[in-house]
Amino acid sequence: MFCAISGKPPRFPVLSPHSKCIFEKELIEQYVSDEGKDPITNSPLTVDELIEISQKPEQSSFANSLNSSTLNTNYSIPNLLSSLQNEWDAIMLENFKLRKQLDEITKKLSVAFYERDAAKIVAAKALKARDDIMREMNHLVSQIGNEEVPESVENQDIALSPSPVTNTLLERLSEESMSYLKKTKKVASDFSAPALASFKLESKWNVNESLQLHRTTSLCHEFQQNVVFQLQELSRVCYLKGPLSHRVAGVPFSEKVKYLAATSHDQLLVCTADGRIGVSNISGDQMEIANTNIGNVIFMENHEQILNDHFLWADDSGAVGFTTMDCKETILLIAGEQQNHFFQAAYHKDGLLLALVNTNKIKIFDLTKPNEQSTDFQVGQEIKADGEIKEVRFSSNGYWMIVHCGTTLMAFDLRKSPGTLALSPFELGSGSTKVLWDLDVSARHLAILKEGNDSHLHDLQFFSYQKSKKSWEPTNLEVFHLESPGVSRQELDNFLMLYTKEGPAAILQAREQVLFYVTK
């Protein structure tokens, strides 16, 4: 016989009528006094219910020899032995309780893991069912003539392609992105500090004053950047690629356009005054208009290599889509919401990430997963600065997102958790002084344009990224003074730099004029 608690032969065995197990009398009585239940079955038990078991003399002798110390026969210290025996019994009892608790906790943990796995399976099935329903809805909408396009899109005639077409497009987007990233991993910027000299005003044009300047960046062409804008003579545009490469061309425009951007393939992306988007050739009379009215356009771009037979667009409600360059088909990826008011969008070089920007938040979407939640940067949380967001850009290395918030310029490391800075914040100055800034394609070289004194209107200074300090630091170059005849300090709205192998060029937009500076 062995005690169910200690695992040793009992000196005074008793039987529990509930579990039918044998126990050492002292151990079970102490357990019942503490717990009031059978240690095996957990059913109520009293000391009076325990049944003593008689033993033969040889059984008793065996039990006593195993439970007693040799000190009992060799040395006459019964009190010490009794104390040791009591301590041993207490340890056995405590050990039994701990083993029992461990078994119970193990069972509960096993059940919890099982329930968690079951919940994950249910959630996965629910998400799959949701995606299936959304695909079916999109397919249904495309079949019935798109009568229920989301309310965020002002015009209800955007063609939603069936799901297989959308999935094929997104798969191609992902594949072409990987190929492009391999090609452009080590593309260097055309910025060259030693080549900088004093700037002179080369040209000045009267322009469509309601149009913001938008610059297109490409890493696989001779010119990494280009800018186009509509002149006051609405049927003509100015196309800038560098100090020695700029021209005025005729276009089939008869009214002021709301948005104008050049592609790396010498085509123009246009949003007309009535909200129609289209594609036009430079120096041609042909313009294709999509059967799509998307309201207030904030972004249009044709990537130089990724899905370059399409262009990406976004409006201020957050609606995002792709339209073919022949304007015959439009795919709506993200349905916007009327309560949103985004004023800018930034497109990552990988063709996958699109940032939509309002004054207090940046929402970054993965275009290959348009139904997933965006990654957000909120002022006061991830963006630890005062004031409103004014501008957002991605660097060509793909790692940084540059954010102008209040009077602070910050670079966030996209490889790390949201809010992680890649370098120290750069203070642009007090709010009373108008400061404009620009970066080369690598974001390692920063140009700052500030108001000058009475003798010259604007000062241009350059800063370079110092890896050891993780900050933009002033170069050894002087401050360049830009003369702006006929333009007051307050009128300056926009500032862009073009860095080319020909040398740098500066573009200033002031209400109804664009001024073009080259180095002497």
Whether residue 498 is contained in a domain is answered as yes
193 in any annotated domain: yes
How much is the pLDDT for 257?
Answer: 92
Q: How far apart are CA 52 and CA 1, in angstroms?
A: 13
User: In this predicted structure, what is the pLDDT of residue 314?
Assistant: 94
Pair (224, 354) in one structural domain: yes
pLDDT tens for 351-391 read 999 999 999 999 999 999 988 899 999 999 999 999 999 99
Lowest mean pLDDT among 182-196, 218-232, 380-394: 182-196
Residue 70 clears pLDDT 50, i.e. is over it = no
Task: Tell me how far apart the alpha carbons of residues 186 and 516 are, in angstroms, rounded to a whole number.
Answer: 30
Among 78-87, 198-207, 499-508, the least confident range: 78-87
Instruction: Decide if 47 is inside a domain.
Output: yes
Domain end marker among 60, 89, 108: 108
Same structural domain, 202 and 87:
no
Domain stops at, among 91, 108, 125: 108
502 pLDDT tier (thresholds 50, 70, 90):
confident
Same domain, 71 and 183: no
Using alpha carbons, select from 416, 354, 351, 420 the residue that is nearest to residue 384.
Answer: 420
Q: What are 283-293's pLDDT values in tens digits?
A: 777 888 888 77
Nearest to 192 by CA among 509, 514, 501: 501
- 252-264 confidence digits (pLDDT tens): 888 999 999 999 8
Do 200 and 331 belong together in one domain? yes
Average pLDDT over residues 290-315: 90
Question: Looking at the whole model, is its pTM more than 0.85?
Answer: no
Does 164 map to a domain?
Answer: no
Write down the pLDDT at residue 337: 85
What's the order of all strands across the beta sheet hosting 492-500? 199-206, 513-519, 503-510, 492-500
Assess whether 228 and 356 both reside in one domain: yes
Q: How many CA atoms lie within 13 A of 279 on its CB side?
A: 21
Q: Are residues 361 and 450 in the same domain?
A: yes
Task: Please identify, among 89, 108, 127, the residue that sits at the C-terminal boundary of a domain.
Answer: 108
The confidence score (pLDDT) of residue 59 equals: 64
CATH number of the domain where residue 37 is located: 3.30.40.10
Contacts of residue 307, defined as CB under 8 A and 6 or more positions apart, other chains included, come to: 169, 172, 173, 176, 322, 351
Residue 75 has pLDDT above 60, yes or no: no
Tens-digit pLDDT profile for residues 382-422: 999 999 999 999 988 788 999 999 999 999 999 899 999 99
Q: What is the CATH number of the domain that holds 265?
A: 2.130.10.10
**What distance lies between CA 389 and its chain's CA centroid?**
17
| Residue with more model confidence, 68 or 330 | 330
Residue 195 DSSP SS3? helix
Whole-angstrom CA distances from 171 to 177, 178, 233, 308, 368 are 10, 11, 43, 14, 8
The reply to whether 75 and 222 lie within a common domain is no
pLDDT at 440: 87
Q: Give the residue, 84 or 217, on which the prediction is more confident.
A: 217
For residue 311, the Cα-to-chain-centroid distance in whole angstroms is: 22
Average pLDDT value over all residues in the chain: 82
| 495, HSE (Cβ side, Cα atoms, 13 Å) | 22
| pLDDT score, position 64 | 59
Rounded to an integer, what distance in angstroms lies between the CA atom of residue 469 and that of residue 462? Answer: 17
Q: Are 101 and 175 in a shared domain?
A: no
In which element (H, E) is residue 171 found?
helix 163-183
The amino acid sitting at 305 is Q
pLDDT bin (cut points 50, 70, 90) of residue 475 is confident
Please state the domain count of the chain.
2
Closest CA to 418 of 374, 455, 463, 369: 374
To 10 degrees, the CA torsion angle through 276, 356, 365, 303? 50
Span 102-113, mean pLDDT? Answer: 82
In sequence order, the 6+-apart residues with CB closer than 8 A to the CB of 206 are: 231, 232, 512, 513
Terminal Cα distance for the chain, rounded: 106
Query: Is 16 in contact with 35 (CB distance < 8 Å)?
Result: no
On whether both 98 and 234 belong to a single domain, the answer is no
Is pLDDT larger for residue 398 or for residue 495?
495
Q: Where are the beta strands (DSSP E) in 199-265?
A: 199-206, 214-217, 225-230, 236-242, 245-250, 259-262
Q: Find the range with the poorest average confidence among 83-92, 163-172, 346-355, 392-401.
A: 83-92
Distance CA(426)–CA(445), nearest Å, equals 13
Confidence tier at 433 by pLDDT (50, 70, 90): confident
The H or E element spanning position 344 is strand 344-347
pLDDT of residue 287: 87
CA distance 433 to 455: 17
Position 167 scores a pLDDT of 85
Q: Which residue has the higher pLDDT, 231 or 183?
A: 231
- Helix (H) or strand (E) segment spanning residue 179: helix 163-183
Q: How far apart are CA 321 and CA 294, in angstroms?
A: 10
Both tokens of 236, joined, read 């003509």
- Domain of residue 75, residue span: 13-108
Helices assigned H by DSSP within 25-162: 25-35, 57-67, 71-74, 78-143
Tokens describing residue 208: 């469509």
Q: Is residue 129 part of a domain?
A: no
119-167 tens-digit pLDDT = 777 777 777 776 667 666 665 555 544 444 444 444 444 544 446 778 8
**What pLDDT, on a 0 to 100 scale, did the predictor assign at position 488?**
62
Of 422, 497, 508, whose CA–CA distance to 190 is shortest? 497
Please indicate, yes or no, whether residues 402 and 472 belong to a single structural domain of this protein.
yes
Both 100 and 174 in one domain: the answer is no
Residue 27 has pLDDT above 80, yes or no: yes
pLDDT number for residue 323? 94
Q: Is residue 158 part of a domain?
A: no
The answer to whether residue 268 sits within a structural domain is: yes
Distances (CA, A) of 319 to 98, 341, 363, 385, 452: 61, 11, 12, 28, 41
In a domain, 159, yes or no: no
> Are 51 and 185 part of one and the same domain?
no
